[in-house]
């Protein structure tokens, strides 16, 4: 199935195109104090290695705003400054080289202050994301709708979009996030009919690693399958690298992001005589490193199976497979058993075969 993407305007955030048919991008947000430049840069470098396309940093005060220029010089992906309440922070972030802004014009203050932000952003052709969350709706809109409904979120967002448009801002992204699945889906469906600006998808405050990933996967999966969404963030109370991993897997599952090996892992049961989960995690890390350092168009399916009951049969369906026995891990390539390995050597062997598979595939002329 090929997903028909909803047509949107194309904007540019640093080196990354968003909307207008461009690939759906994965974002995350640093969890370090932005003013701590060293810690923030280290975290961003980790995210770059994990496959993050765009990074956002909180700018709660002038120290954080002034750190933008130092951070920008040391990273390789577009940097978005998240601004609330004080328009001077936005001006400082723009001057420091931020590639874009995320603001809620409703809490910036007067229209004159928003105008200053728009003027500074327009001079550098920077996009602005209008972000509306269910916890930040205006009292007047809440009174009218009685609750932070999907319609209330969209009304608030579109009023802010109009304000920016009236002030001359053309490069705009929009998000309307609730903290649960169904209101989020409904809000974005309504928003997609109300504007052709590119949309940033997410479930706000989704939760910890397990529940947050599930909620985000359900909501974002539904919307992306309907062609809605140009960039995504999986918001987790967890390491930001896991936000990126989850986001990439959502896109891969829908065929919206190509590349990278597909890892197949059996759930294990009482027949397993080795720690299959530990092996799978080791393989995953090796494949992730391989993917980040290589750019191949064709990647294999790699299986990790826990026992010899179904393992050999499943291995024949994968390009590369590891099947756990009692004391050895058996390596299969193209369905044929090739080696018996010690547990510690198995993950590296699978990565090595993956690299060879990719090199062979790249050498074949189509």
Angle separating helix axes 209-225 and 240-253, nearest 10 degrees? 30
For residue 270, name the pLDDT band (cuts at 50, 70, 90): confident
Cβ count within 10 A of residue 220: 29
User: Where are the domains positioned within the chain?
Assistant: 11-253, 262-363
More confident residue, 213 or 291: 213
pLDDT at 350 over 70: yes
Class level of CATH domain 11-253: alpha beta
For residue 205, name the pLDDT band (cuts at 50, 70, 90): confident
- Residue 261 confidence (pLDDT): 86
Separation between Cα atoms, residue 9 and residue 12, nearest integer Å: 10
Got the DSSP string for 14-55?
A: TTEEESTTPPPEEEEE--S-TT-HHHHHHHHHHHHHHT-SEE
- 355 burial level (CB within 10 Å; 0-12, 13-18, 19+): middle
- Residue 109 confidence (pLDDT): 79
pLDDT at 366 over 60: no
- Residue 139 confidence (pLDDT): 87
| CATH superfamily for domain 262-363 | Sulfite Reductase Hemoprotein, domain 1 (3.30.413.10)
Q: Two tokens at 254?
A: 């829908």
For residue 85, the Cα-to-chain-centroid distance in whole angstroms is 26
Model confidence over 43-68: pLDDT tens digits? 999 999 888 999 999 999 999 999 99
Task: Give the range with max mean pLDDT: 232-236, 252-256, 258-262.
Answer: 232-236
CA atoms within 13 A on the CB side of 76: 9
Please give the torsion angle defined by the CA atoms of residues 319, 322, 325 and 328, in that order, rounded to the nearest 10 degrees: 120
- Residue 365 confidence (pLDDT): 62
Full-prediction pTM beyond 0.85?
yes
Separation between Cα atoms, residue 324 and residue 279, nearest integer Å: 9
More confident residue, 308 or 14: 14
**Which residues lie below 8 Å from residue 10, measured CB to CB, with a gap of 6+?**
17, 18, 19, 20, 21, 22, 198
Question: Quick one: average pLDDT of 233-251?
Answer: 94
Sign of CA dihedral 173, 176, 181, 187: negative
Question: Quick one: average pLDDT of 160-170?
Answer: 94
For residue 295, name the pLDDT band (cuts at 50, 70, 90): confident
Separation between Cα atoms, residue 127 and residue 273, nearest integer Å: 54
Separation between Cα atoms, residue 307 and residue 296, nearest integer Å: 31
Q: Which helix (H) or strand (E) holds 65?
A: helix 62-72
Range scoring the smallest mean pLDDT among 30-34, 169-173, 309-313: 309-313
Q: Two tokens at 276?
A: 């299959």
Separation between Cα atoms, residue 232 and residue 222, nearest integer Å: 13
For residue 327, the Cα-to-chain-centroid distance in whole angstroms is 39
pLDDT at 272 over 90: no
CB neighbour burial string for 227-259, b if at least 16 within 10 angstroms, e if fewer: ebbbbbbbbbebbbbbbbbbbbbbbeeeebbee
Question: Quick one: average pLDDT of 265-282?
Answer: 89
pLDDT at 254 over 60: yes
Question: Quick one: average pLDDT of 321-329?
Answer: 91
Question: Quick one: average pLDDT of 300-316?
Answer: 83
Average pLDDT, the chain: 92
pLDDT at 351 over 70: yes
pLDDT at 191 over 90: yes
Model confidence over 104-125: pLDDT tens digits? 888 887 889 999 999 999 999 9
pLDDT at 88 over 60: yes
pLDDT at 259 over 90: no
Question: Quick one: average pLDDT of 26-51?
Answer: 96
- 38 burial level (CB within 10 Å; 0-12, 13-18, 19+): exposed
The CB-based long-range contact list for 335-342 (8 Å cut-off, 24+ gap) reads: 337/312
């Amino acid at each position: 199935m090929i997903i028909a993407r909803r047509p949107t305007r194309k904007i540019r955030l640093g080196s990354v195109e968003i909307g207008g048919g461009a690939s759906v991008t994965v974002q995350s947000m640093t969890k370090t104090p932005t003013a701590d430049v060293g810690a923030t840069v280290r975290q961003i470098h980790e995210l770059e290695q994990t496959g993050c396309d765009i990074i956002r940093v909180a700018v709660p005060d002038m120290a954080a705003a002034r750190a933008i220029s130092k951070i920008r010089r040391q990273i390789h992906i577009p940097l978005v400054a998240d601004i609330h309440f004080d328009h001077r922070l936005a001006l400082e972030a723009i001057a420091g080289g931020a590639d874009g802004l995320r603001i809620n014009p409703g809490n910036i203050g007067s229209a004159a202050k928003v105008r200053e932000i728009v003027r500074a952003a327009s001079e550098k052709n920077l996009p602005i994301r209008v972000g509306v969350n269910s916890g930040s709706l205006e009292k007047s809109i809440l009174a009218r709708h009685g609750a932070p409904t999907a319609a209330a979120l969209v009304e608030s967002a579109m009023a802010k979009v109009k304000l920016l448009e009236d002030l001359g801002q053309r490069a705009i992204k929009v998000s309307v996030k609730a903290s649960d699945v169904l209101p989020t889906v409904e809000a974005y469906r309504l928003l997609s009919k109300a504007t052709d600006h590119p949309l940033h998808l997410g479930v706000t405050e989704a939760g910890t690693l397990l529940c947050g990933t599930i909620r985000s996967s359900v909501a974002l999966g539904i919307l992306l399958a309907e062609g809605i969404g140009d960039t995504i963030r999986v918001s987790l109370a967890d390491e930001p690298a896991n936000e990126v991993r989850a986001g990439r897997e959502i896109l891969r599952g829908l065929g919206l992001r190509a590349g990278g090996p597909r890892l197949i892992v059996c759930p294990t049961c009482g027949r397993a005589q080795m720690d299959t989960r530990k092996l799978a995690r080791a393989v995953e890390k090796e494949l992730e490193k391989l993917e980040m350092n290589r750019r191949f168009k064709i990647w294999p399916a790699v299986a990790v199976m826990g026992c010899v009951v179904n393992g050999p049969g499943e291995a024949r369906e994968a390009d590369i497979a590891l099947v756990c026995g009692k004391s050895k891990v058996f390596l299969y390539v193209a369905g044929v058993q090739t080696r018996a390995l010690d547990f510690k050597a198995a993950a590296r062997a699978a990565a090595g075969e993956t690299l060879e598979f990719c090199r062979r595939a790249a050498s074949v002329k189509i």
